[in-house]
Amino acid sequence: MITESKIHEECGVFAVFSSEKTDVASTVYYGLFALQHRGQEGCGIAINDDGVISCYKDLGLVNDVFSHSVMDKLGHGNMAIGHVRYGTTGNNDRNNVQPIVVNHVKGRMALAHNGNLINSTELREALELKGSIFHTTSDTEVISYIITKERLTAPSIEEAVNKAMDSLEGAYSLVVMSPSKLIAARDPKGFRPLCYGRTEDGRYIIASETCALDAVGAKFVRDIEPGEIIVITRDGIQSIKEHCGKEKQSLCIFEYIYFARPDSFVDGRSVHAARVRAGELLAKTHPVEADVVIGVPDSGLDAAIGYAKASGIPYGIGFIKNKYIGRTFIAPGQKSREDRVKIKLNPIAEVVSGKRVVMVDDSIVRGTTSARIVRLIREAGATEVHVRSSAPPFIAPCYYGVDIDSKDKLIACNHPMDEIREIIGADTLGYLNFDDVEKIAEGSHCGGFCVACFNEVYPTRPPKGTKNKFEQPIPEEIKNKVKKGEE
């Protein structure tokens, strides 16, 4: 979406394995570019050249971080991993950008992950009490420590990952690179997507979404199963399924509603088709007499097409989105948020002026974005604005990688439906019915979905403590001890 009041994406992981030394950095670059929608805070690439792992990462978008000079310095290798980040655990700090590279007596390792652990605080505290020193505040470093600890006794890196999964709770899709192996792992509940493919010249590709496979010319092979570990070496590919089938699957339904790119397939289901289906269901449960249906770019467009198709109301392109301004756009000076919206998004008056408009958006989280966009449509001449959300109301925080950590700012938790309609300035308001939410994923081979943000029924225990515990200010008691030389 387009302003600060919307939820933010997950992260994206990408990896490549080649039997020959080649320009794997460029392959990862294009893969990350295709996954840029999943995270815009920072990005990184780690290259493996005959066991020597080099890494470059920084805050910013892929195109900004990886200049020609940086790409030249990364050089060639036979495998590489990459990451685009939106942090839900750990501040927006360069130290928290991934991949994480570990130098250890058992060998070097690079790791990147998408998701959020619910027991990272407990694991970190236990490790610190045994002498571990952390350099970041992200749960990715916790995962790297657990794998490294298991590597002390495990006969191989893949067995270390396998044993580490016994300790990790929550959402994680991992790519791990050792001197000679590329490993991918997906948590047993399958919260986050992960797939792999192969190029015509035999390179293996691992990615969060199939759109990234397309970007590098790889043919989709299959999704990595929840709980599965795959190991890629020069001898081929191996699958470890010890953790498969042990837990009920809980793919985040919001991958279909908002996170994934519409040209991706997630666990066998077209994202575009899922969003069109959501729009069709909205039209049946929340019909209205209107002249045109428009979608809010980008993830509301497909649902708008579905609404128009099912309702018989013509579909129109209602907004132009400034493609040259990314999600990290910062207005100079004390500009209002309304000005930022106008710079990023502008209604097409010819389409909405004098019309009764159905405006379809992917979700309504805090309500401020919807209010600003409705105001823009009215200013462009719309006589009526009927808002439809292709997601049910958000009533609960997410613990698995989405930046909704409390109910405080969720509009559906603090206002009844009529008040929400008034706050956003709509003539009518309709959400996707909760009973319909899993229907949009019909055709997926996933065995179940996480819809906790809509019904507060979580597939795991809740986490202990706050997710940013290790970023809190130092307590005054400790500060005083430091001053006295007691700490």
pLDDT tens digits, one per residue of 178-221: 999 999 999 999 999 999 999 999 999 999 999 999 999 999 99
Query: What's the CATH code of the domain at 185?
Result: 3.60.20.10
Catalytic positions are 11
pLDDT, mean of residues 253-279: 97
Cα–Cα distance for residue pair 425/286, rounded to 1 Å = 17
**32 inside domain:** yes
| Domain identity same for 219 and 100 | yes
Question: Smallest Cα–Cα separation from 224: which of 283, 169, 182?
Answer: 182
| Domain identity same for 230 and 288 | no
Structure tokens, 87: 């942090």
Contact 14, 28 (CB under 8 A): yes
Radius of gyration of the chain, Cα coordinates, nearest whole angstrom: 23
Contact 215, 31 (CB under 8 A): yes
Is the per-residue pLDDT at 236 higher than 70? Answer: yes
| Domain identity same for 245 and 329 | no
Is the per-residue pLDDT at 472 higher than 90? Answer: no
Distances (CA, A) of 69 to 3, 21, 36, 66: 32, 20, 21, 8
| Domain identity same for 338 and 239 | no
Contact 263, 214 (CB under 8 A): yes
**481 inside domain:** no
Is the per-residue pLDDT at 327 higher than 80? Answer: no
**475 inside domain:** no
In this structure, which amino acid lies at residue 193?
P
Cα–Cα distance for residue pair 304/131, rounded to 1 Å = 55
Query: What's the CATH code of the domain at 451?
Result: 3.40.50.2020
| Domain identity same for 153 and 217 | yes
**468 inside domain:** no
Buried b (16+ CB within 10 A) or exposed e, 348-361: eeebbeebbbbbbb
Mean pLDDT score of the chain:
90
Is the per-residue pLDDT at 486 higher than 80? Answer: no
Contact 250, 191 (CB under 8 A): yes
Indicate the pLDDT class of residue 344, thresholds 50, 70 and 90: confident
| Domain identity same for 307 and 418 | yes
| Domain identity same for 65 and 183 | yes
The number of folded domains in the chain is 2
pLDDT tens for 424-457 read 999 999 999 999 999 999 999 999 999 999 999 9
| Domain identity same for 175 and 279 | no
What is the edge-to-edge ordering of all strands in the sheet holding 219-223? Answer: 52-59, 42-49, 77-85, 12-22, 204-207, 195-198, 219-223
Indicate the pLDDT class of residue 56, thresholds 50, 70 and 90: very high
Which of 249, 279, 304 delimits the end of a domain? 249
The residues, ordered by sequence, that sit 6+ positions from 167 with a Cβ below 8 Å of its Cβ are: 119, 123, 146
Q: HEC states along the chain?
A: CCCCCCCCCCCEEEEEEEEEEECHHHHHHHHHHHCHHHCCCEEEEEEEECCEEEEEEEECCHHHHCCHHHHHHHCCEEEEEEEEECCCCCCCCHHHCCCEEECCCCCCEEEEEEEEECCHHHHHHHHHHCCCCCCCCCHHHHHHHHHHHHHCCCCCHHHHHHHHCCCCCEEEEEEEECCCCEEEEECCCCCCCCEEEECCCCCEEEECCHHHHHHCCCEEEEECCCCCEEEEECCEEEEECCCCCCCCCCEECHHHHHHCCCCCEECCEEHHHHHHHHHHHHHHHCCCCCCEEEECCCCCHHHHHHHHHHHCCCECCCEEECCCCCCCCCCCCCCCHHHHHHHHEEECHHHHCCCEEEEEECCCCCCHHHHHHHHHHHHCCCCEEEEEECCCCCCCCCCCCCCCCCCCCCHHHHCCHHHHHHHHCCCEEEECCHHHHHHHHCCCCCCCEECHHHHCCCCCCCCCCCCCHHHCCCCHHHHHHHHCCCC
Is the per-residue pLDDT at 1 higher than 70? Answer: no
The Cβ of residue 414 has, within 10 Å, a number of other Cβ atoms equal to 14
Cα–Cα distance for residue pair 304/335, rounded to 1 Å = 31
Is the per-residue pLDDT at 17 higher than 70? Answer: yes
Chain center to CA of 323:
20
**278 inside domain:** yes
**264 inside domain:** no
Phi-psi region at 60: left, alpha or beta (left = phi > 0; alpha = psi -120 to 50): left
pLDDT tens for 84-115 read 998 555 555 788 899 999 998 888 999 999 99
What is the pLDDT, as a whole number, of residue 106? 83
| Domain identity same for 189 and 56 | yes
Do the bridges between strand 109-117 and strand 100-102 make them parallel or antiparallel, or are there none, so unpaired? Answer: antiparallel
- Predicted model pTM: 0.90
Contact 137, 96 (CB under 8 A): yes
Q: What are phi and psi of 334, to 5 degrees?
A: -90, 60
Which of 249, 279, 300 delimits the end of a domain? 249
Chain center to CA of 444:
19
In this structure, which amino acid lies at residue 300?
G
pLDDT tens for 22-32 read 999 999 999 99
- Ranking 173-187, 278-292, 334-348, 389-403 by mean pLDDT, the lowest is 334-348
Q: Which domain holds residue 412?
A: 269-455
Is the per-residue pLDDT at 245 higher than 90? Answer: yes
| Domain identity same for 376 and 276 | yes
Cα–Cα distance for residue pair 309/312, rounded to 1 Å = 6
**225 inside domain:** yes
pLDDT, mean of residues 218-242: 98
**64 inside domain:** yes
| Domain identity same for 144 and 222 | yes
| Domain identity same for 239 and 301 | no
